[in-house]
Amino acid sequence: MPVNKTIDEVFSEYRAYLLGLRPEANVDQNDSDWWIRGRTLSGVVSGVYADVEKVGQDAFPQNARRDALLRHLYAWFAENSFKPATVATGPMLVTGDPDAGPFSAGLQATHEITGNVYVTTEDFTLNPSGEGSVTVQSVLAGQSQNLQEGAELSIGSPPSGLDSTGTVDAGGISDGTNEESEEAAAARILTRQRSSARGGTATDYKVWAQSVDGVTGASIYRFIHGLGTVGVIITSGTTDIDGALDADPPVAVDFTPSDDLIADVQTYIDSVKPETDCAFVYAPDEVAIDVTVTVSFVTGDKDTVLSGQTLTQGELVEREVKRAIYKTDTGGVKIGDTGYMLKKSVEDMIDSKLSAEGEVEGQTLQIVLNRVVANLDGVDADVELTPIQRPVVGTITIVDA
């Protein structure tokens, strides 16, 4: 019998007890006083059972309600809230008259496609070629504020001598993260519970790195530069990969931390690490994964746009390939001591979202009759990754069967 008893289960017990005490009670007629009292009491008692079960689940972070999860965070990390959403920052390339300026901080730039607004955070001048790079920061916080290199920005009311358009410079606008999810908070707590602080274990370094706002993930590479050295590979930016890819238009997916965030994490780890360790904080090395998929569709071909859709069938398959790549963490999927970007991960993602063979939870459409994913590196099915490498989307090719 489960702890949480339903109204009917409680009423059944009430009925049995009542008839044992008063056999003449008319407890089965739904307009009798006994029936009404029994159903009312059963509703109250069932609610008590449900609350007791929830209280029991609150003891475990993975099952805890939001308020209870906050208490776990305070107990383990002395934090009163989930990690907040963070703004995105990065360089914007601007052009204009080299003799104009200097230009003051506070200029607004808008990404017309998404409506994101950014503000310059420093004074700047242009070089003799009429170019300059200035740091901008998003007005709002969240992963949707990240932009990739080359995105065009419109500068509102540009001062004399400055062109009205700019572009996101090398490295992109990054570090924008959503508020920490309950699942991510529970994972942090469980990591700490399963491995208590011991003065410099791999788990310690992971916890230290993830305690800095803006860090969304961390992996540890022991002896990265020899004995006594520790590599801390951090990611930032996108936490809700599904939300980013499924948005219309899609949100840029970016895991690369800015130089400023890397410096912040380095400073913090230097303040808490053992004196005998030499720790180095890095962004992951990105490895572009090229994928070719041959697909047989239920109807039409890769260029067909189904009713109610804005993407072609080929673009829908391409989105699932991206999802599989982006959801592979730094260092890849471990098989033994080696990490990989797996061909099977791509196949499974396409099947789980688009296959016409059966329906599964989270499925988007049933449009794919069959698919064949070519070997990812053209020779072996899987791509081997080092502990500091993270797969990113390369060239995706969809071919009709």
How far apart are the C-alpha atoms of 44 and 51, rounded to whole Å?
A: 11
CA atoms 297, 298, 300, 306: torsion sign: negative
381 in helix, strand or coil? Answer: coil
Statement to judge: residues 297 and 329 lie in one domain: yes
- 234 and 206 assigned to the same domain: yes
* Domain of residue 125, CATH code: 2.40.30
Kindly report the pTM of this predicted structure: 0.81
Distance between first and last Cα of the chain: 53
Evaluate whether residue 305 is within a structural domain.
yes
Do 145 and 229 share a structural domain? no
Instruction: Decide: 101 and 124 in contact? Cβ < 8 Å.
Output: yes
Query: Pick from 282, 297, 319: which residue ends a domain?
Result: 282
In a domain? residue 129: yes
Joined tokens for residue 291: 């994928």
pLDDT at 3: 64
Q: Output the pLDDT for position 1.
A: 41
Whether residue 159 sits in one domain with residue 96 = yes
Do residues 186 and 267 both lie within one domain?
A: yes
- Residue 356: CB atoms within 10 Å: 16
The closest alpha carbon to 97, from 39, 158, 42, belongs to: 158
- Residues 258, 357: one domain? no
**Structural domain includes residue 209:** yes
Query: Residue 1 domain-assigned?
Result: no
The CA–CA distances, whole Å, from 135 to 5, 36, 119, 156, 306 equal 59, 69, 8, 16, 42
50 located within any domain: yes
Burial of 81 (0-12, 13-18, 19+ CB in 10 A): exposed
Is 264 within the bounds of a domain?
yes
Residue 151 counted as domain residue: yes
Is the same domain home to 259 and 192? yes
> In terms of domains, do 296 and 228 share one?
no
In a domain, 82, yes or no: no
319 and 267 in a single domain? The answer is: no
In the chain, the number of structural domains is 4
- Same structural domain for residues 194 and 120? no
Q: What is the pLDDT along the chain (401 residues), one digit of tens a residue?
A: 456 788 888 888 888 888 888 888 888 888 888 899 888 988 888 888 878 888 888 999 999 999 999 999 999 999 999 999 999 999 999 999 999 989 999 999 999 999 999 999 999 999 999 999 999 999 999 999 999 999 999 999 999 999 999 999 998 999 999 999 999 999 999 999 988 778 899 999 999 999 999 999 999 999 999 999 999 999 999 999 999 999 988 888 999 999 999 999 999 999 999 999 999 999 999 999 999 999 999 999 999 999 999 999 999 999 999 999 999 999 999 999 899 999 999 999 999 999 998 888 888 899 999 999 999 988 889 999 999 999 999 999 999 99
Of 257, 282, 307, which residue constitutes the final position of a domain?
282
Q: How far apart, in whole angstroms, are the C-alpha atoms of residue 216 and residue 192? A: 16
* Residue 319 lies in domain: 285-400
Q: Which of 224, 249, 282 is the last residue of a domain?
A: 282
The answer on 306 and 395 residing in a single domain is yes
Task: Check residue 249 and give left, alpha or beta (phi > 0: left; psi -120 to 50: alpha).
Answer: beta
Residue found by looking up tokens 């307009």 in the block: 31
- 268 and 290 together in one domain: no
